[in-house]
Structure 1
Amino acid sequence: MAVDLSLEWLGMRMASPLYNASGVMCRTREELDAVAGSAAGALITKSCTLTPREGNPEPRYHATALGSINSMGLPNEGYPYYFDYAQQFDYRKPLFVSVSGMSLEDNLFMLADLRDRHLPCLPEINLSCPNLPGKPQLAYDFAATAEALEKISQVYPGAFGVKLPPYFDPVHFAQMAALLNRFEGLRFVTCINSVGNGLLIDLASETTLISPKGGLGGLGGDYVLPTALANVREFARLMPDKHVIGCGGIKSGAEAFMHILCGATAVQIGTCLHEEGVGAFARIQHELAELMAQKGYQCLADFRGRLKTL
């Protein structure tokens, strides 16, 4: 049976629902070109700030058998680097630019420039960076998030998305969904950013695995899959007129299938991509197609959002 992995959303066509999570294979032009030339259906840049940043001190990333921990601190080349890349982008795939200013004013400045340059990309505004010392995640402050989205909507008239941190309480799912539903231009949410401020220890040396923030960092990989799936399912259920992009714990076709079953339009791959490289896209795509064929599904819409409950 032929299986079709393509999808169309927000006027874009993707041959595959898979692409990179912001933060992985996206800091330099060479990394972005590698993703663009792979089996990925789209690509997204590193979260950018007004000016280049080196990020937190090394070691700031460590892989484990169950995933990863990181405290990168937004290392990036500065927003003009990524906007110039978008200006010259000639691949036939959707391009997303992740925006993560150090303040709301920074974000408004970058989005105004993006608006004026009419670039062939969509912004994903990062409301959830957990790895900046002294900077709380904006999306855990609902009033501040509402204020930010009001101002963003005034400055940027096009479609945009936001990247959210994980939420853990049904009340918070409902409150954030109601807030996001108020903004017509907000067309998609990415769930989730890493589970912030975890701690992993090397037993032999009795030390933390990373250096910044006393060893605290964002968790990815297997550690976060159940939390990611819950966030995707709840936001897809509570925001039927918006798209949800699943992110967290995808290392095979099985996890990609689960995210889509929970309602994800497309899925981003982080830790697995960091460890395996861009070959992960073709492998996971093949596994997803095989799983769909085994279950008798011909396209993603056949099972998207159709999770059964007991």
Structure 2
Amino acid sequence: MVDLSTTIAGAHLDNVFFNASGVWCQHEEELQALLESGSGSLITKSATYEHREGNPSPRYLPLPSGIGSINSMGLPNEGYEYYLNYARKFDYTHAKPLFISLSGLSLADNVKMVEAFVQANLPCILEVNFSCPNVPGKPQLGYDIDAMDAALATLAPLIKKPFGIKLPPYFDIAHFDQVAAVVNKYDNLAYVTCINSVGNGLAIDLDTETALIKPKDGFGGLGGLMVLNTALANVNAFYRRLPGKQVIGVGGVVSGKEAFLHILAGASAVQIGTQLKEEGPAMFDRIKKELTEIMEKKGYKSVEEFRGKVKTL
């Protein structure tokens, strides 16, 4: 038998898989579908302080030949109180832990949302999204190292319990070092989730000579298979630089093969976005089966046996 279980921030997951925040998780019926699926956990849509409609459509499209997707969603969500109420009535005796994603448009908003969840004293795990590339006029906090440090200095003591942060992709070794130095300062910052979409791609239709999505003159975040190698690099870079902490890998997973590679690079869990959006929650059973078959073929009994064991030349 192959063991796909893992532990994130002290919470047990029966298997390593869950949704990437933003996909299949805005409304309760979607979250219920994740609970009923083969995923090991679930995370809510990144919540802002107030309800947001998000950007005008079309704002998400799959790209040809299965290479991935482009989106500029603009953080559509129901407002943090919706997800707080969901967390209050969540059945924590269920086999799946609940992760809550918070993405305030300001530090003050994040503080208010964190305080509300702390006051509620629930067993859910908070994840603060420092990578919100699709809000016009707003820079990503994840690309402002000093601002990220200042935000964590405020939020980590408030949260007290183990929590995580969602990071954008980094492309420079110096940035891996700088971000890791900040993350390592905060003991209860238990994990990082990487990567969010690769920002500001542009997809153009050859026939109409028109951008494929409407917001931001067609600029949007890239996801799916084409970002796999960037995601693997970020997972491995932070796995190496964050001793005692964990990495949740996300980006480019379409089958068990990519999931295996994420774990080999150092991921303690694997989130899936574009493929979940295109295939639906039944996808989790397929990918679990494919990962199990790869592990059986290689003789691995658990994900712990090969996590972070990628060889270099």
Quote the offset at 1:263 in angstroms. 0.4
CA distance in 2, matches of 1:218, 1:166: 11
SS in 2 for 1:110: helix
Q: Which residue number in structure 2 is paired with residue 149 of structure 1? A: 152
Output the amino acid matched with 2:85: D
Alignment of 1:162-241 (within 5 A): 162-241=165-244
CA distance in 1, matches of 2:307, 2:267: 7
**1:122 maps onto 2:125 in alignment:** yes
Q: Which residue number in structure 1 is paired with residue 46 of structure 2? A: 47
Q: Which residue number in structure 2 is paired with residue 160 of structure 1? A: 163
Deviation string for 1:215-268 (max 9, x for gaps)?
Answer: 000000012101000000000000021010000000100000000000000000
Output the amino acid matched with 1:75: P
Deviation string for 1:271-302 (max 9, x for gaps)?
Answer: 00000000110000000000000000000011
Output the amino acid matched with 1:122: I
CA distance in 2, matches of 1:74, 1:177: 26
CA distance in 2, matches of 1:288, 1:92: 20
Q: Which residue number in structure 2 is paired with residue 7 of structure 1? A: 6
CA distance in 2, matches of 1:147, 1:200: 35
Alignment length (residue pairs): 309
Q: Which residue number in structure 1 is paired with residue 258 of structure 2? A: 255
CA distance in 2, matches of 1:235, 1:257: 17
Residues 28 and 86 in structure 2, CA contact (< 8 A), matched pair in contact too: yes
Given candidates 98, 111, 132, the residue that maps to 1:95 is 98
Structure 1 unaligned segments of length 5 or more: list them: none
Quote the offset at 1:6 in angstroms. 1.2
CA distance in 1, matches of 2:107, 2:200: 23
Q: Which residue number in structure 2 is paired with residue 67 of structure 1? A: 68
Quote the offset at 1:12 in angstroms. 1.5
SS in 2 for 1:183: coil
Output the amino acid matched with 1:116: Q
Residues 87 and 120 in structure 1, CA contact (< 8 A), matched pair in contact too: no
SS in 2 for 1:47: coil
Deviation string for 1:183-206 (max 9, x for gaps)?
Answer: 011000001000000001111111
Output the amino acid matched with 1:235: F
SS in 2 for 1:166: coil
Q: Which residue number in structure 1 is paired with residue 77 of structure 2? A: 76
SS in 2 for 1:139: helix
Deviation string for 1:129-176 (max 9, x for gaps)?
Answer: 100000000010111011000000232211110000000011110111
CA distance in 2, matches of 1:11, 1:183: 16
Identity %, equivalent residues: 57
CA distance in 2, matches of 1:42, 1:154: 26
CA distance in 1, matches of 2:203, 2:226: 11
Alpha-carbon RMSD across the aligned residues, in angstroms, is: 0.7
SS in 2 for 1:22: coil
Given candidates 128, 131, 134, the residue that maps to 2:134 is 131
Deviation string for 1:27-85 (max 9, x for gaps)?
Answer: 00000000011000000000001111000000000001210000000000010100111
Output the amino acid matched with 1:40: S
CA distance in 2, matches of 1:9, 1:20: 14
Q: Which residue number in structure 1 is paired with residue 303 of structure 2? A: 300
Residues 189 and 243 in structure 1, CA contact (< 8 A), matched pair in contact too: yes
CA distance in 1, matches of 2:9, 2:221: 30
**1:291 maps onto 2:294 in alignment:** yes
Output the amino acid matched with 1:162: I
SS in 1 for 2:232: helix
For normalisation by structure 2, the TM-score amounts to: 0.98
Q: Which residue number in structure 2 is paired with residue 274 of structure 1? A: 277
Q: Which range moves more in the overlay, 148-157 or 195-204?
A: 148-157
For normalisation by structure 1, the TM-score amounts to: 0.99
CA distance in 1, matches of 2:51, 2:263: 35
Deviation string for 1:6-40 (max 9, x for gaps)?
Answer: 12343211111000000000000000000011000
Residues 50 and 110 in structure 1, CA contact (< 8 A), matched pair in contact too: yes
CA distance in 2, matches of 1:89, 1:168: 38
Structure 2 unaligned segments of length 5 or more: list them: none
CA distance in 2, matches of 1:6, 1:263: 15
Q: Which residue number in structure 2 is paired with residue 26 of structure 1? A: 25
After TM superposition, what 4+ stretches of structure 1 lie above 6 angstroms from structure 2?
Answer: none
CA distance in 2, matches of 1:150, 1:160: 13
CA distance in 1, matches of 2:43, 2:7: 17
SS in 2 for 1:54: coil
